[in-house]
Structure 1
Amino acid sequence: LLMNRFSVTKVLTVFSALGTIALLITTTVTNMTAVYAAIATSFFFGPEWPTIYAHTLDKVEDKRFTETAGAFIVMAIVGGAVIPAIQGLVSDISGSMQLSFIVPTICYVIVTTYFYFEHRLDISKQKLAIK
């Protein structure tokens, strides 16, 4: 619904930013609000994965390599196995499960930054196309 009205990169930037904020709340707030924020994080990330997948495949210029690009994107799921292990290590070292949420927060900041700059690039390309 949102992507019918706004660019993919804008929607991904906003959802990633909101996920980052939810994770910052999860990491810093010490009451039940942190639990609700952790649940909200799943809401913000849910639509991102399929959108990122489709958006990335659209960027492949030579369509003969779409299948290979798709395989590389699927292999990126390995981060879903590595990052929780790192989060667990941070939890063990710090003694705080709540503090360990800084690990996915950093990941979300990276994703947000990437899509923010991609969105700015899209805007620049649109402005050049208009001229």
Structure 2
Amino acid sequence: MTTKHQLLQICNERIDKRINDYKEEINLIKESIESNDKGDSEDDDSGNGKLLNDLEKNMGYLNDAQQAKAFLKQIKLNVSTTYAALGSIVKTKQMNFFLSTSIGKIELGNEVYYAISLSSPIGQLLKNKSKKDSFEFNQTKYVITNII
């Protein structure tokens, strides 16, 4: 299995975990709302208001995670380019990036990769760059040593 395949698999696993965690949280919140509704009707409804806010937040997070999952499906690992694009591994002297979705740090073997979105600030700087191109982010200059 290539490094790209392994990175994509890890990204998918982490997104799947997020999706499952949000679904579990949503179910817990729904159960809490239902049990509050069965309680004394004279109780203050402020508890349900907070639960409804939490439900709405978690549904938004779930939607974002599902969109990230759909975005990962667009990555074509068999396509090779000489420039940074979706699915590329971009190596610099300082760090390695996997252009996919915002997952963060991934340790694979003895190397560290950062799975980032093309729409992130650093992803925007990397987009369409080629080997030996440079860019600056957070007052650090990066030179691209390889694109896989």
Q: TM exceeds 0.5?
A: no
Which of the pair has more CA radius of gyration? 2
TM class by smaller structure = 0.3 to 0.5
| Structure (1/2) with the larger helix percentage | 1
| Structure (1/2) with the larger strand percentage | 2
What's the TM-score, normalizing by structure 2? 0.33
Give the number of the structure with larger relative contact order, counting CA–CA contacts within 8 Å between residues 6 or more apart: 1
